[in-house]
C-alpha cells in the first residue's frame, strides 16, 4: 500500500481500516501487540517518534501536552517527560475522568522516565486531573489507524479521541490554535474522502512518520464542543464525567438535549417516536434504556445498510423468568461487553444489545459465549437480519 493510495468509490471508514490492518499484518509492519486489527497499530519504527516530535517547533513551545495511551505513542510520551513538560494522558475509556497527569518520582532517571511512559507507568505514576484544574493544553497527540495528507483522520472506530477533544473544548482546556499531531507508519497515510468526515471527527495539523513530517494545512474545523444530540443516556451513564460537563453547560444556558430526547418526527404512514413509545407502553414492551430494537428478522434501516460502521445489534434469548435488567447489565459489564444501548423485553425472555459497530458486536459475541443467568444458558447471536446480511455479502 503506497502513501496516498486512492480509495475506491463508495469506500467506508471500515473499508479503510481493514485494508490497512490487513496490509500491516501481511507485511509484518507492526510490533506487539498483534494482530493489529481493532487497535491503533504499534507500527515498527514508532520508537523513532521520540526524536521526530522534538523536531517540531510546536513541541518546544508547548508546556502542557496531552498524549493518547496507545502503544505507538510511548516514544512521544517519553519525549514529553524528558523535556520536563506536563504530560496528560486520557483515562482508559474515560471511565473515571478525562485524563491523568503523569508525575515521575523526584530525581527520576531516564530508565524511570521510560517506565512512566509505558501503559503500566501511566497507571503507577499518575494523579487524576479534575474539571476545575487550570489546564491549558498546548499540544494534542492522538493515535490513528489511517490519516490523509489533508489531515483527515480515522481511528479504530470507538470515537474516544474525538470525544476527548470535544470534552477538552467544553472544559476550556484547549484553544482554537491548539495543534493536533498524529504518528503513524508511512503505509497508514492514505487518501480519505472528505465525505466520510462528520462534524464530530477530529482532524490533524501534522503527521509524523518514520521517514517524514507532513504539515497538513487542514482547514476543516475541529469539534467545537460536545454534540449532545449525538450522546445517549446510556453513554452518559458509561462516562460519568459527561454528566458533570452537561450540568456545567446547562448552567451556561446551552442546549444539552440528548439523542434519546430528540422530539419525535413522523412521516406519512409511520408513527413518530412519541407515538411508538405510547404504543410500546400500552403493550408492555417499553424498554428501560431507549426505543425498542427490531426483533430478529425485522431490523431497522440502519441495521440493513451493510455499513460496518453502523450500530449492530446482538440478540439475547432464553432469559429466565424473574430476571431483572440490572442482573443482565452486571453480567455484561463483567464480561467487558457493555453495549451502547440495551433494549429489555423481559416478559418475552429476551433483550437486544446495540454496539457501535459490527466489529464491536463480534467481539461482544465472543466474550458472551457460554453466559448464563440463574442457571439458564443464554442464547446469544447477531440479530437475524444481520445474520442474513452477512451471509449475503460476497
pLDDT, tens only, 61-116? 999 999 999 999 999 999 999 999 999 998 876 766 788 999 999 999 999 999 99
Q: Are residues 117 and 85 in the same domain?
A: yes
Domain containing residue 374: 287-392
- Highest mean pLDDT pick, 264-273, 305-314, 324-333: 324-333
pLDDT over 80 at 277, yes or no? no
Cβ atoms of 36 and 30 within 8 Å: the answer is: yes
pLDDT over 80 at 119, yes or no? yes
Cβ atoms within 10 Å of 138's Cβ, excluding its own: 19
pLDDT confidence of residue 349: 87
Q: Are residues 79 and 146 in the same domain?
A: yes
Q: What are phi and psi of 267, to 5 degrees?
A: -120, 155
Q: Are residues 379 and 246 in the same domain?
A: no
CA separation, residue 231 to residues 158, 200, 257, 258 (Å): 13, 11, 9, 6
pLDDT confidence of residue 96: 66
Cα–Cα distance between 379 and 265 in angstroms, integer? 35
* pLDDT tens digits, 34-68: 999 999 999 999 999 999 999 899 999 999 999 99
Q: Each residue of 234-263: b (16+ CB within 10 Å) or e?
A: bbbebbebbeebbeebeeeeeebebbbeee
pLDDT over 80 at 293, yes or no? no
Q: Are residues 203 and 59 in the same domain?
A: yes
Q: Are residues 189 and 234 in the same domain?
A: no
Q: Are residues 296 and 233 in the same domain?
A: no
The dihedral formed by the CA atoms of 367, 369, 375 and 379, expressed in degrees to the nearest 10 = 120
Cα–Cα distance between 311 and 352 in angstroms, integer? 12
Considering 183, 215, 247, which residue would you say is the last residue of a domain? Answer: 215
* pLDDT tens digits, 192-204: 999 999 888 999 9
Cα–Cα distance between 283 and 207 in angstroms, integer? 55
Mean pLDDT of the chain, nearest integer: 82
Per-residue pLDDT band for 288 (boundaries 50, 70, 90) equals: very low
Cα–Cα distance between 376 and 63 in angstroms, integer? 56
> Is 359 within the bounds of a domain?
yes
Per-residue pLDDT band for 308 (boundaries 50, 70, 90) equals: low
pLDDT over 90 at 359, yes or no? no
Q: Is the peptide bond before 35 cis (omega within 30 degrees of 0)?
A: yes
| CATH number for the domain harbouring residue 102 | 3.40.50.10420
Q: Are residues 204 and 248 in the same domain?
A: no
Q: Are residues 193 and 244 in the same domain?
A: no
User: 317 forms bridges with which residues in the sheet?
Assistant: 379
Cβ atoms within 10 Å of 13's Cβ, excluding its own: 22
Per-residue pLDDT band for 128 (boundaries 50, 70, 90) equals: confident
**Three-state SS for 343?**
strand
> Is 272 within the bounds of a domain?
no
pLDDT over 60 at 299, yes or no? no
Q: Are residues 297 and 352 in the same domain?
A: yes
- With a CB cutoff of 8 Å and minimum separation 6, the contacts of 218 are 150, 151, 152, 203, 204, 205
How many structural domains compose the chain? Answer: 3
pLDDT over 60 at 348, yes or no? yes
| CATH number for the domain harbouring residue 332 | 3.30.70.330
> Is 166 within the bounds of a domain?
yes
* pLDDT tens digits, 240-272: 888 888 888 888 888 889 888 765 444 444 444
Q: Are residues 251 and 320 in the same domain?
A: no
User: DSSP letter at 270?
Assistant: B
**Three-state SS for 27?**
coil
pLDDT over 80 at 2, yes or no? no
Q: Are residues 190 and 109 in the same domain?
A: yes
Considering 202, 237, 258, which residue would you say is the last residue of a domain? Answer: 258
Considering 215, 242, 275, which residue would you say is the last residue of a domain? Answer: 215
Predicted model pTM: 0.65
Q: Are residues 147 and 236 in the same domain?
A: no
> Is 291 within the bounds of a domain?
yes
Cα–Cα distance between 392 and 390 in angstroms, integer? 5
* Cα diameter, the chain: 72
> Is 271 within the bounds of a domain?
no
- The better pLDDT of the pair 333, 14 is held by 14
> Is 28 within the bounds of a domain?
yes
> Is 264 within the bounds of a domain?
no
- With a CB cutoff of 8 Å and minimum separation 6, the contacts of 304 are 385, 389
> Is 267 within the bounds of a domain?
no
Amino acid at each position: 500500500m503506497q502513501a496516498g493510495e486512492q480509495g475506491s468509490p463508495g469506500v467506508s471508514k471500515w473499508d479503510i481500516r481493514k485494508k490497512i490492518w490487513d496490509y500491516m499484518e501481511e507485511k509484518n509492519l507492526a510490533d506487539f501487540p498483534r494482530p493489529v486489527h481493532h487497535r491503533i497499530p504499534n507500527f515498527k519504527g514508532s520508537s523513532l517518534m521520540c526524536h521526530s516530535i522534538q523536531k517540531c517547533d510546536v513541541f518546544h513551545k508547548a508546556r502542557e501536552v496531552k498524549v493518547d495511551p496507545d502503544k505507538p505513542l510511548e516514544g512521544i510520551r517519553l519525549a514529553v517527560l524528558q523535556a520536563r513538560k506536563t504530560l496528560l494522558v486520557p483515562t482508559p475509556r474515560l471511565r473515571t475522568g478525562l485524563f491523568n497527569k503523569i508525575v515521575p518520582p523526584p530525581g527520576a532517571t531516564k530508565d524511570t522516565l521510560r517506565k512512566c511512559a509505558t501503559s503500566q507507568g501511566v497507571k503507577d505514576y499518575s494523579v487524576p486531573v479534575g474539571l476545575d484544574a487550570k489546564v491549558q493544553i498546548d499540544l494534542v497527540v492522538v493515535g490513528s489507524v489511517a490519516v490523509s495528507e489533508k489531515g483527515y483522520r480515522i481511528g479504530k472506530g470507538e470515537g474516544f479521541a474525538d470525544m476527548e477533544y470535544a470534552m477538552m473544548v467544553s472544559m476550556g482546556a484547549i484553544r482554537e490554535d491548539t495543534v493536533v499531531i498524529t504518528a503513524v507508519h508511512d503505509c497508514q497515510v492514505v487518501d480519505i474522502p472528505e465525505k466520510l468526515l462528520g462534524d464530530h471527527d477530529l482532524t490533524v495539523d501534522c503527521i509524523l512518520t518514520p521517514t517524514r513530517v507532513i504539515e497538513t494545512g487542514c482547514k476543516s474545523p475541529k469539534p467545537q464542543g460536545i454534540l449532545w444530540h449525538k450522546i445517549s443516556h446510556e453513554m452518559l451513564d458509561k462516562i460519568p464525567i459527561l454528566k458533570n460537563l452537561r450540568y456545567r453547560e446547562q448552567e451556561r444556558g446551552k442546549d444539552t438535549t440528548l439523542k434519546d430526547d430528540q422530539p419525535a418526527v413522523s412521516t406519512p404512514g409511520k408513527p413518530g417516536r412519541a407515538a411508538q413509545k405510547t404504543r410500546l407502553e400500552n403493550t408492555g414492551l417499553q424498554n428501560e434504556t431507549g426505543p425498542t430494537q427490531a426483533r430478529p428478522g425485522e431490523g431497522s434501516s440502519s441495521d440493513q445498510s451493510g455499513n460496518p460502521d453502523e450500530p449492530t445489534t446482538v440478540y439475547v434469548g432464553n432469559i429466565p423468568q424473574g430476571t431483572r435488567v440490572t442482573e443482565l447489565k452486571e453480567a455484561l459489564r463483567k464480561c467487558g461487553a457493555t453495549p451502547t444501548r440495551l433494549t429489555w423485553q423481559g416478559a418475552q425472555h429476551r433483550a437486544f444489545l446495540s454496539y457501535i459497530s459490527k466489529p464491536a458486536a463480534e467481539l461482544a459475541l465472543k466474550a458472551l459465549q457460554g453466559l448464563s443467568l440463574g442457571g439458564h444458558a443464554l442464547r446469544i447471536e447477531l440479530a437475524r437480519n444481520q445474520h442474513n446480511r452477512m451471509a449475503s455479502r460476497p
